[in-house]
Amino acid sequence: MDLSRPTLVSADSVRTATGTPGDAVLVQGGKVKGVGWASEMRQPHMNEERYSNAVLVPGLGDAHFHPTGYTAAITRLNLQDARDMADMLDSVRLASRNLPATQPLIGTRLNNEQLEENRLPTRHDLDQAVSDRPVLLYRYCGHVAIANTFALEQAGIDPSTPDPVGGLLDRDEHGPNGILRETATELLAKAIGEGTADLDPDDVLSSLRGLVTQGITRLGAIIKVGEGFWCGTGDDLATISAIGHDLPLELAVLVIANSPADLEQAATVLGEAGPRVKFLGMKDFSDGSFGGHTAAMREPYTDRLNTRGTLRFDLETIGLVARASLAMGGHVALHAIGDLANHEVATFMRGLRDQGAAAESLRIEHASVLTDADLDLIASVGALASVQPAFLTSETEWLASRVGPERLGQTYAYRSMIEAGIPLAGGSDCPVEPPNPMLGMAAARDRSGLSPEQALTGAEALGLFTDGVAQALGEAAPLSVGSTANFTVLDVDPVTATPDELRQAEVVSTWVGGEPQAHDRDALIWH
């Protein structure tokens, strides 16, 4: 397609979070030249693409996405379908047989909540399946991992090993039982990561091409300096650099870095990685997850009264990297799930604002449990909340028992957040949740029946994954004149469709930079 010539792209209607401004988008040079009615914008000799029985929406996006973690989840041992301990161990045995001798076995997406035994395995369980090579299985949240005895010994973990700062080693009468929480997972990753075959950059590229078939045009991509967040994924920066010039969508990259120097180096590498890659800023953690009982809460968990979670907020290091990011024109994005963690992060960001940071440079990732006072604090700071509605779907069966009835209405409280004036952006935290934005929109609306008073309207849900993502990634309003011509064509109107219809919606076409992207059915796709 000749991008220098104007192209009129039309459908039954153009639907945005604020209305239906027409039925067509005029594109030229990869930019939006206008939105309105095809009959009024049509000119002689222009290109024209027409989609019948379809609705054109701003390009769908995901504000919080782990590219290498996603690829690992669809190319390596994936335990999402295991329904009991025996089933899970059979999968581990089979995967081990297909690996070269001595190579560590890494598995992902273990969900103890759906196992019949309703517990995490221990090293003793894993030893029944594999005892002659390191095994490390990640709970699907990514904040808990389980190692077999071989892996613990290779990492030098024994009864005398102390809990690392910001992490926990679960123990039994014999010492560490193989369950590692938060920063403790890094003890294993460092020890066995070098023996694991790194991800093939071509597989990462293929998985990103698969996202195009789900209507995704841009990602808030999270990577880590050095070894990736998941063991054995390799060097995230090198991977993005290797595939950057072939990307089918846009990446705005948030970097987990241990120092300002690491962050600056990452920004330099990303700046040379290709026209669809940009450095967005820094990302770090203040706590863990509900699933691992490591989200930092003011009061104990309702189903585990001996813990309030883990606050892993290294204020000194995070402060240095955050200020470096701001000085580079980047964002500060901090993970906070529990109400204590959200208060600490909001207070920290209040301090950054007082020192001159712009509101639009501050993001709270997840913002899962918020008291009324912290809703007001975050609104006064002006920070954006990057939220993942699909969490509601996977946590339906156990969330209420974990946080209790009093806190449930404060959890994923999207209606309260909007009413407080907090801007929201939607994402999946993939591979924690599937990447399909329609699933996130549907969950934001029906909430799987949890706290229905916090539900969003159809227009608000669409806005999460369009206007909200654009704001989170520091981009112009979608489909505004002069913005990058990213848009998605669906077979349903996402505002008027029911949540169940959204879950079944099909993507007709995906346009990035004013060009339709091939829907490669051979690409790696989440199933």
* Residues contacting residue 23 through CB under 8 Å, at least 6 positions apart: 10, 11, 12, 13, 14, 37, 38, 56
The answer on 146 and 120 residing in a single domain is: yes
Mean pLDDT of the chain, nearest integer: 96
DSSP one-letter code for 192: H
CA distances from 134 to 150, 156, 298, 504 (A): 5, 12, 37, 40
In this structure, are 82 and 49 located in the same domain?
A: no
Nearest to 64 by CA among 368, 286, 386, 438: 386
Rounded Cα distance between 285 and 313, Å, is 7
**The pLDDT of residue 324:** 98
Do 153 and 101 share a structural domain?
Answer: yes
pLDDT(233) > 90: no
Instruction: Tell me the mean pLDDT in the region 449-463.
Output: 98
* φ and ψ at residue 481, rounded to 5 degrees: -60, 130
376 falls within a domain: no
Average pLDDT over residues 440-465: 98
**CB neighbours of 405 closer than 8 A, spacing ≥ 6?**
none
Query: What are the tens digits of pLDDT across the range 356-377?
Result: 999 999 999 999 999 999 999 9
Tell whether 156 is covered by a domain: yes
Mean of pLDDT values over 6-34: 97
What is d(CA 157, CA 462) in angstroms, rounded to the nearest whole number?
A: 47
In the predicted structure, residue 188 carries a pLDDT above the cut 90: no
- Cα–Cα nearest to 80, from 115, 111, 105: 111
Give the model's pLDDT for residue 189.
84
Q: What is the rounded average pLDDT of the residues 391-404?
A: 97
Q: Does a structural domain hold residue 315?
A: no
Question: Is 411's pLDDT higher than 80?
Answer: yes
In a domain, 44, yes or no: yes
Residue where one domain finishes, among candidates 135, 167, 195: 195
Same domain, 172 and 96: yes
**Going by C-beta distance under 8 Å and a sequence separation of 6 or more, which residues neighbour residue 96?**
105, 129, 130, 133, 135
Pairing between β-strand 47-50 and β-strand 55-58 as defined by DSSP bridges: unpaired
% of the chain exceeding 90 in pLDDT: 93
Full-model pTM: 0.96
What phi and psi values does residue 351 have, to the nearest 5 degrees? -65, -40
Q: Are residues 83 and 191 in the same domain?
A: yes
* Unique residue bearing structure tokens 């690992």: 72
- Domain termination residue (choose one: 195, 216, 232): 195
- For residue 510, name the pLDDT band (cuts at 50, 70, 90): very high
User: Which residues lie across from 24 on neighbouring strands?
Assistant: 10, 36
Say if residue 125 is in the same domain as residue 20.
no
In this prediction, residues 325-346 reach a mean pLDDT of 98
At residue 246, does pLDDT exceed 90? yes
Cα-Cα-Cα-Cα dihedral of 497, 503, 509, 513, to 10°? 90
Does 91 score more than 90 pLDDT? Answer: yes
- pLDDT recorded at residue 196: 83
From residue 49, give the alpha-carbon distance in Å to each of 93, 127, 418, 485, 511.
51, 58, 37, 14, 11
Is 31 in the same domain as 90? Answer: no
Residue 121: inside a domain, yes or no?
Answer: yes
Concatenate the DSSP letters of all residues of 65-127 into one string.
E-HHHHHHHHHSEE-TT--SHHHHHHHHHHHHHTSPTT--EEEEEE-GGGSTT-S---HHHHH
Position 169 in a domain: yes
What string of DSSP letters covers 399-423? Answer: HHHHHHHHHHTTBT-HHHHHHHT--
87 and 174 assigned to the same domain: yes
Model confidence pLDDT, tens digit, residues 112-155: 999 999 999 999 999 999 999 999 999 999 999 999 999 999 99
What does the pLDDT read at residue 521? 81
**What type of residue sits at position 109?**
R
- The CATH number that applies at residue 172 is 3.10.310.70
* Portion of the chain with pLDDT greater than 70, in percent: 99
Distance CA 168, CA 181 (A): 5
Residue 177 within any structural domain of the chain: yes
Rounded to 10 degrees, the C-alpha dihedral 283/251/110/295 comes to 20
Examine the domain organization and report whether 49 and 78 are in the same domain: no
Rounded CA-CA distance 129/134 in Å is: 11
Q: Is 279 left (phi over 0), alpha (psi -120 to 50) or beta?
A: beta
Tell me, yes or no, whether 162 and 81 share the same domain.
Answer: yes
- My answer on whether 29 and 124 are in the same domain is no
**Pair 369, 337: CB distance under 8 Å:** yes
Q: Sign of torsion, CA 316 322 323 328?
A: positive
Per-residue model confidence (pLDDT) at position 3: 67
For residue 257, is pLDDT > 80? yes
Domain assignment of residue 43, given as a range:
7-53
The 10s digit of each residue's pLDDT in 190-206 is 888 777 888 999 999 99
Pick from 152, 179, 195: which residue ends a domain? 195
Q: What amino acid occupies position 15? A: R
Structural domain total, the chain: 2
Tell me, what's the pLDDT at 522? Answer: 86
Is residue 323 one of the residues assigned to a domain?
no
Question: Are 43 and 83 in a shared domain?
Answer: no
